[in-house]
Chain A
């Protein structure tokens, strides 16, 4: 099965077939995103800029200004760290509706070392005005996100995650809307909120909790900005809200949710599970998840410990 990154080329090709104002721009990572068929069929809609991420963003803004809808793709960490000034000036300040696609979100490309991990990308982008931040959970959701963005005038950062063996989260079609979280599993004592492919582990964690007689809800907060505040209010009466993300502890989805609850009267206890507070050494993705405790066993343990303290 294709991982998210190798779906990008084919999906963009379909989108461009329907809308020739869409452009796919990249900084020497076209093959990484499987753009070969796209390049062959619509060469005029592909903009190759070489290993130059700052120019990738700036040139995309120039193209947007001339009426094109640009999807600019590179490694999540290069786009959101190396070219962050270009993002804040062109998108945050001037408001250009560039769509950013970040491959290798979280730990997925961690065999290439921390230089290729995206561990503060959500933190960096959610603080920039005018940019929506979305982390699709699986292939079906990725297609819905990209398709919706092809008609959307604003800017968005799409964070890819997982690898070729990513779990299928949606087995049936569903209604996707930006900013509207999806409840994947019902329950009311504990709520796990997550985004991206790590939702697969989150769902397995919920099963383990159920086996311990704890009713556990799982929510896919695919849009980290804007957060779905309605659902956060609905679930606020549960005993514990657990956030799970392939991101450093601070600044990502967990922090965003904590910020929301900080100003609310009804404020559930939270447990923020994450990669932690430092960069892991290079390793295979599955091993990194184990090292960072982002597995069903580790997470169930931590949640149970916290839950017992609350009782």
Chain B
């Protein structure tokens, strides 16, 4: 079990690699904002919570992670590198040229990537089907984690899956919402106000917890809580967290880094 300092160090290294991948992607840039906000969540998941095996990567006993907000790809790649699914060369080459590691992840179990993503709103259905499949196979130990964006909760299909998860009592599934309050066109409350997300999910029958999405202790407590109903963890986060010029700045949903911005970002993270 990693302690707080170790988890935070993983998060810091992840942020440095996210910046490096973004910088190397050149003119295209990367989804920096939404990747930075999910870092601690991934650090805790891969550091302490999930069961996985880099060698026996398709073992049925593995836990399954679905990043429905798939544009956080660089964060996923950074986490996969930390635990050995991706090599240093994979990270160096990511986001440009012939690399298979591009802006949205491509399904590759040997790299620890359960499903391809990019069309928002679809990941919770994949999670629901997976969770149901596991129970039907009598695999009651594997857990499924689905990471959604809060803007992504605009999509109707999310609510189709949300009902089905409760209906089928899929207690092996945990929904994590990276709630950074922003989406492409602006602040989520002003783009499409979804009302009280906590109330909405709990009214469907979920156990809902709202936490500080950058506090590794709170994340771990919430994810490890054993319950007999499916749970939703609403993680309040900051889009672009870790780099001052990007935090809560709309234009950093995607962005490219100049040499100066790159240096500034590295300095910010290292402080």
Interface residues of A (CB under 8 A from B): 44, 47, 49-50, 52, 54-55, 57-68, 85-86, 89-90, 93-94
C-alpha gap A59/B131 in the complex (Å): 9
A50/B164 in contact, CB under 8 A: yes
Is B161 part of the binding interface, using a Cβ–Cβ cutoff of 8 Å? yes
Besides the contacts A61-B129, A62-B130, what 19 more A-B pairs have beta carbons closer than 8 Å? A54-B121, A54-B122, A55-B125, A55-B157, A58-B129, A58-B157, A59-B125, A59-B126, A59-B128, A59-B161, A62-B129, A63-B133, A63-B136, A65-B130, A66-B129, A66-B134, A68-B136, A89-B118, A93-B116
B137/A67 in contact, CB under 8 A: yes
C-alpha gap A63/B134 in the complex (Å): 8
Given contacts A50-B163, A85-B119, contact A61 B126 (CB under 8 A): yes
Chain A residue with minimal CB distance to B117? A89
Chain A residues whose CB sits within 8 angstroms of the CB of B164 once the complex forms: 49-50, 52, 55, 59
> Which of B118, B127, B160 meets A54, CB within 8 Å?
B160
Is B176 part of the binding interface, using a Cβ–Cβ cutoff of 8 Å? no
Chain A residue with minimal CB distance to B157? A54
Closest CB in chain B relative to A267 CB, distance in Å = 39
Closest CB in chain A relative to B245 CB, distance in Å = 34
Is B234 part of the binding interface, using a Cβ–Cβ cutoff of 8 Å? no
Chain A residues whose CB sits within 8 angstroms of the CB of B116 once the complex forms: 89, 93-94
> Which of B107, B121, B163, B167 meets A94, CB within 8 Å?
B107
Is B115 part of the binding interface, using a Cβ–Cβ cutoff of 8 Å? yes
Number of interface residues of B (CB under 8 A): 28
C-alpha gap A251/B115 in the complex (Å): 31
Which residues in window 11-64 of B have CB below 8 A to A? none
Is B76 part of the binding interface, using a Cβ–Cβ cutoff of 8 Å? no
Given contacts A58-B128, A59-B125, contact A52 B133 (CB under 8 A): no
Is B84 part of the binding interface, using a Cβ–Cβ cutoff of 8 Å? no
C-alpha gap A49/B167 in the complex (Å): 9
Interface residues of B (CB under 8 A from A): 107, 114-116, 118-119, 121-122, 124-134, 136-137, 156-157, 160-161, 163-164, 167
Closest CB in chain B relative to A86 CB, distance in Å = 6
Chain A residue with minimal CB distance to B167? A50
Give the 4 A-B CB pairs with smallest separation, nearest first.
A62-B129, A58-B125, A66-B133, A55-B160
B160/A62 in contact, CB under 8 A: no
Chain B residues whose CB sits within 8 angstroms of the CB of A65 once the complex forms: 114-115, 126, 129-130, 133
Closest CB in chain B relative to A13 CB, distance in Å = 18
Chain A residue with minimal CB distance to B131? A62
Closest CB in chain B relative to A88 CB, distance in Å = 8
Chain B residues whose CB sits within 8 angstroms of the CB of A60 once the complex forms: 129
Chain B residues whose CB sits within 8 angstroms of the CB of A67 once the complex forms: 133, 137
Most chain B beta-carbon neighbours within 10 Å: one of A63, A93, A94:
A63
Chain A residues whose CB sits within 8 angstroms of the CB of B122 once the complex forms: 54, 58, 85-86, 89-90
Chain B residues whose CB sits within 8 angstroms of the CB of A47 once the complex forms: 132
> Which of A63, A89, A94 meets B129, CB within 8 Å?
A63
Chain A residue with minimal CB distance to B125? A58
C-alpha gap A50/B162 in the complex (Å): 12
A59/B137 in contact, CB under 8 A: no
B132/A62 in contact, CB under 8 A: yes
Most chain B beta-carbon neighbours within 10 Å: one of A47, A62, A94:
A62
Chain A residues whose CB sits within 8 angstroms of the CB of B160 once the complex forms: 49-50, 52, 54-55
Closest CB in chain A relative to B153 CB, distance in Å = 15
Chain A residues whose CB sits within 8 angstroms of the CB of B115 once the complex forms: 61, 65, 94
B137/A66 in contact, CB under 8 A: yes
Chain B residues whose CB sits within 8 angstroms of the CB of A85 once the complex forms: 119, 122
Closest CB in chain A relative to B231 CB, distance in Å = 19
C-alpha gap A50/B165 in the complex (Å): 12
> Which of B119, B128, B134 meets A55, CB within 8 Å?
B128
Closest CB in chain A relative to B146 CB, distance in Å = 10
C-alpha gap A235/B25 in the complex (Å): 53
8 contacts between A and B (CB under 8 A): A50-B160, A54-B122, A54-B156, A55-B161, A58-B128, A63-B129, A63-B132, A67-B133
C-alpha gap A130/B148 in the complex (Å): 28
C-alpha gap A286/B131 in the complex (Å): 45
> Which of B119, B132, B133, B134 meets A89, CB within 8 Å?
B119
Most chain A beta-carbon neighbours within 10 Å: one of B124, B128, B156, B164:
B164
> Which of B114, B161, B163 meets A58, CB within 8 Å?
B161
C-alpha gap A93/B160 in the complex (Å): 22
Chain A residue with minimal CB distance to B107? A94
Chain B residue with minimal CB distance to A83? B157
Chain A residues whose CB sits within 8 angstroms of the CB of B131 once the complex forms: 62
C-alpha gap A107/B8 in the complex (Å): 61
Chain B residue with minimal CB distance to A58? B125
Chain B residues whose CB sits within 8 angstroms of the CB of A93 once the complex forms: 116
Chain B residues whose CB sits within 8 angstroms of the CB of A63 once the complex forms: 129-130, 132-133, 136
> Which of A49, A58, A68 meets B126, CB within 8 Å?
A58
Closest CB in chain A relative to B168 CB, distance in Å = 9
Chain B residues whose CB sits within 8 angstroms of the CB of A86 once the complex forms: 122, 125, 157
